[in-house]
Amino acid sequence: MVKKRVLQGMRPTGHLHLGNYLGTAKGMLALQEDPNYETFYMVADLHGMTTPFDPKKIMLESREVILDYLSCGLDPKKSALFLQSSLADLHVQLAYYFSTVVTVARMQHLPTYKEKVKQYPENVTMALLNYPILMAADILIYKASMVPVGMDQEPHMEVTREIARKMNLLYGLGFPEPRSLETKSRYIPSLTGEGKMSKSVEGSYINLTDNLETIKERLAKVPTDSGKGNKIPEGGGVYTLLTIVELFQGLEKRTKYEKEYKRSGIKYQDLKNELAEAIFKDLEPIQKKRRELEKDRAYIDNALKDGTERARAVASKTVKEVKEKMGLI
């Protein structure tokens, strides 16, 4: 059976929170266990350099990401785990070849680019403009056909398919046109009651490393109402609580609370305490594993070494092929 190759890139943005765990890590685990797929999971540290970064921290943060995912259950025997920078010679090289078939105008018009320009007007660099081309190289270098990404990355996926088509047409290459894979990634609402759980919004998230006390404190701050009403809120803090109740305590529990809301009323303090216990029960084994792995540098080093080797075997073949077809060999 020919396995479909999956490539996922994670930006190194510090510790995972509950939203990443439910939305991303669980999806990655499911793919890893699915015999139809071969999984390549990469920390996109080179992409982390397209916006301001701290050279003292970048490597540490990438390793933290690996540590987090390993703690959640990623298995280096099943998935190839590696850092993009360990294969910079190949990824960046391919991105350069790709850049010969992409116009500047196409890159400048991307909504993702415009957003970053607004966010960091002092840092509109060539690296930023090249972001989508490097991402296309990340994906096509492994001839991945599936890429688990959020909706916000769709413009980059479109660019990737365009590049694949152009390279195939101009140089007779056989790149697949990769599709985004909607992981069962759920939209995890923020604890503030507005928007989604996000690392950049203080008070919006629960960290995977939080202890019971901290989880209780964070939940205590979720804004609520009188606990009673004719209509179940479809937004705000109460909605967030009910969503998380469903994820950690099941739909039945949510339904029970919804009934209470319309009748006797919800006692939020009890709800929050019970919910905190349920969340912690799920996080405890992950935290335990993390503490074990933190002490075992060699395990992570080996996982990365092994993953890098597997990735390099595939990537170097693709680059050689492209060089040949482009007339460089």
Contacts with ligand TRP in 37-66 (CB under 6 A)?
44, 47
From candidates 4, 11, 199, 256, binder to ligand TRP by CB under 6 A: 11
Q: What is residue 240's three-state secondary structure?
A: helix
Rank residues 11 and 15 by Cβ distance to ligand TRP and give the closer one: 11
* Shortest distance, position 42 Cβ to ligand TRP, whole Å: 7
Q: Among residues 107, 214, 207, which one has the least CA distance to residue 160?
A: 107
Q: Which DSSP helix (H) or strand (E) runs through 180?
A: strand 179-181
Rounded to 5°, the CA angle 274-276-281 comes to 95
Which single residue brings its beta carbon nearest to ligand TRP?
Answer: 9
The C-alpha atoms of residue 178 and residue 137 are separated, in whole angstroms, by: 12
Interaction between residue 153 and ligand TRP (CB under 6 A):
yes
Fill in the amino acid letter for 28: M
From candidates 9, 76, 189, 307, binder to ligand TRP by CB under 6 A: 9
Contacts with ligand TRP in 106-145 (CB under 6 A)?
135, 138-139
Residue with tokens 């949510």: 254
Quick check: 47 and 12 in contact, CB under 8 A? no
Rank residues 13 and 264 by Cβ distance to ligand TRP and give the closer one: 13
Rank residues 7 and 29 by Cβ distance to ligand TRP and give the closer one: 7
Quick check: 308 and 86 in contact, CB under 8 A? yes
Stretch that binds ligand TRP, among 51-59, 146-154, 189-197, 274-282 (CB under 6 A): 146-154
* Shortest distance, position 46 Cβ to ligand TRP, whole Å: 8
Q: How far is CA 271 from CA 137, 212, 219, 252, in A?
A: 48, 15, 10, 14
Rank residues 26 and 216 by Cβ distance to ligand TRP and give the closer one: 26
DSSP code of 113?
A: H
* Shortest distance, position 220 Cβ to ligand TRP, whole Å: 32
Please tell me the count of residues contacting ligand TRP according to CB under 6 A. Answer: 12
Interaction between residue 199 and ligand TRP (CB under 6 A):
no
Residue 287 φ then ψ, to 5°: -65, -35
Interaction between residue 188 and ligand TRP (CB under 6 A):
no
Residue 37 φ then ψ, to 5°: -125, 150
* Shortest distance, position 156 Cβ to ligand TRP, whole Å: 6
The C-alpha atoms of residue 95 and residue 127 are separated, in whole angstroms, by: 11
Quick check: 260 and 266 in contact, CB under 8 A? yes
Rank residues 289 and 312 by Cβ distance to ligand TRP and give the closer one: 312
Interaction between residue 149 and ligand TRP (CB under 6 A):
yes
* Shortest distance, position 157 Cβ to ligand TRP, whole Å: 8
For ligand TRP, the binding residues (CB under 6 A) are: 7-9, 11, 44, 47, 135, 138-139, 147, 149, 153
